Amino acid sequence: MIDMNINDRYEEIAKLSGLSEDIVRRVLKASKQSIAKSLAQGNKATLPGICTLTPEIRSKIEVGKQGLVDYVKVKAKASASMESEVSSLLQGRNSNEEIENKATELNFISNDDSNGSDVGIRLKQINALL
């Protein structure tokens, strides 16, 4: 698994939305500012279809400072539609990867025979067995 960096994320959102990367950056920056403002006020912030962020304002003692220092601990809960979206993406991906891995582990698929053609059980046949 490779983590997507922020520039890759901007590029992908721009591609998927058909908007320019500059507009995507500006909208996400404004969203971050709006959410930070809500959280700093102690309010929940919802990203529709993505998640709800809930702030917990806490205090701690810092070395070299007088008294307590407030900070915010943010908890995120994915929306039902996000969980559904991820689940549907995983269903398609897992079945093909699992089938390929199982077939390879069980030596059902051999890349070639003496004639250079595939031998063994094909992936579609294994899929039907699962």
- 45/75 Cα distance (integer angstroms): 11
Domain regions of the chain by residue span? 79-130
pLDDT per residue as tens, the chain (130 positions): 578 899 999 999 999 999 999 999 999 999 999 999 999 888 999 999 999 999 998 888 888 878 888 888 999 999 999 999 888 888 866 555 565 665 555 544 444 444 444 444 444 444 444 4
Q: What is the DSSP string of 8-47?
A: HHHHHHHHHHT--HHHHHHHHHHHHHHHHHHHHTT--EEE
Cα 58 to Cα 19, 52, 104, distances in angstroms: 39, 19, 52
Residues near 118 by Cβ (< 8 Å), separated by ≥ 6? Answer: 109, 110, 111, 112
